[in-house]
Each structure stands twice: as C-alpha cells, then as structure tokens.
Amino acid sequence: MKDIAKLEYTLRISFRNTALLQQALVHRSYLNENPDFDLQSNERLEFLGDSMFSAVVAEKLYNDYPDLTEGDMTRLRSVLVRGETLARIARQHLKLDSYLYLGHGEETSGGHAKQSILADALEAVVGAVYVDQGFDICRDLILRLYQSEVEKAVVGNQRVDFKSQLQEVMQARHHEVPEYRVVSTEGPEHARAFVVEVLIGGRMMGRGRGNSKREAEKEAAKAALDSMT
C-alpha cells in the first residue's frame, strides 16, 4: 500500500477510512495484473465524484455570478469539469500522479501523465471524500481546488464574442455571412424567451434560446461554432 498521509495533509482531510482514499487511486490496469489486490478499482468512486463536481461548480456559478445566462453557466461548467481542467488540478495541486496504482504496461507508457487517468483519479478522490466525510466537506474541497479556476473561466467567457467569431470563421472559409432569424417566442410579456436560428447559405447551423434576441443570437452562434469542431 502507498503511504497517503501526505496526500491527506494536502487535501486537509483526515479520512476515517483510508482504504477509500487508496481505492480512489487504483486504476483498473493495476487490478488486471494484481487480481488478489485488496481493493477495487476507482471507477465507482469516479462516477460519484463526477456528479459532485458538476453539482458544486453549477452551484458556485449560479450563486456567485448572477449576470451569467443559462447558456454561459452550461458552457463554463463544461470547461471547468472537462478532463483537461481536472487533470491540471490533479497534477498541480494534489500531485496525484505520484500516488497512482497503475499496471506495468500503463506505467511504462506514461500513464502517470495521461489526462484521462489523472482526471478520473481526481473525480474518484472527490467521490471518496464524499463517502467518508459527507457533502459539506466534499463541497469545501472542490471549492478550494477551484478557487482560481472559476474566476479565470468567467473572465475568459466574458471576452468571447461568439457572433463576431462565427462571422470571421464563415467569411474565411466560405465567404458567407451568418443570418439570424427568430423562430419562436415563449412565455408571458414580462418573462419573454426568444428562440433564434443562425443560417449560413440557407442552412440552419445552430439554435439558441435567451431572454433577449441578443442573448439567443449569441447562443445560436456558439452552437454553430460547436458544430464545426
């Protein structure tokens, strides 16, 4: 077994059941080569941790940034819980790469540095914290890990003009200018929502919904850009 006292210190959490934290570090490749190992792989804890990350990040975006639209929050949550971000936190803040249980083949092929393995391990660690310590401590851990990540993502989102970006891409690729049209309005007058489609060369490329035409157009442009990647 690996000595994880240092990891507990980094997490600022003293586990009641340290086997849970150990399990969070066990990649399935290790069990393939060590079938008699006492612990299971981290996959079930990873599933739990993934849900915790999404819930806590969504809550923070909602509570701390009231000017963000639904589309903004959805986009930012996606950025913050994607593998690249999780792997960076796992490596830079917790040094999880030095604690992983990997099979020999995975280890020799650079598994300690693989984004997917690091991201999964971080989610599993969070899942282990939730099982061992409960929601409040798990939430506090996620917020500490994301202390600077959320602000950077929000600032970056505010700088993106998706309509201008789409127009530049389409003029460069196809010499076309995007056309926006309102396809429906929903809700009462005081809470009106607009649904907008963006067309390029007569073809619908994206659809967006917002509380103003401008917001809906922005979401439609973002959807069109996403469809091209």
Catalytic residues: 50, 123
Strand partners, 208: 196
Instruction: Please give the single-letter amino acid code of residue 99.
Output: Y
- Residue 14, number of CB atoms within 10 A of its CB: 11
Q: Sign of dihedral through CA atoms 112, 36, 5, 41?
A: positive
Decide: 20 and 45 in contact? Cβ < 8 Å.
yes
In terms of Cα–Cα distance, which of 229, 90, 70 is closest to 149? 90
Alpha helices, H only, the chain: 5-11, 18-23, 28-33, 43-64, 70-81, 83-92, 104-108, 115-133, 135-145, 149-159, 162-174, 213-228
Rounded CA separation 108/216 (Å): 49
Interior angle at CA 99, CA 86 and CA 93, nearest 5: 40
Instruction: Please give the single-letter amino acid code of residue 140.
Output: D
Decide: 130 and 44 in contact? Cβ < 8 Å.
no
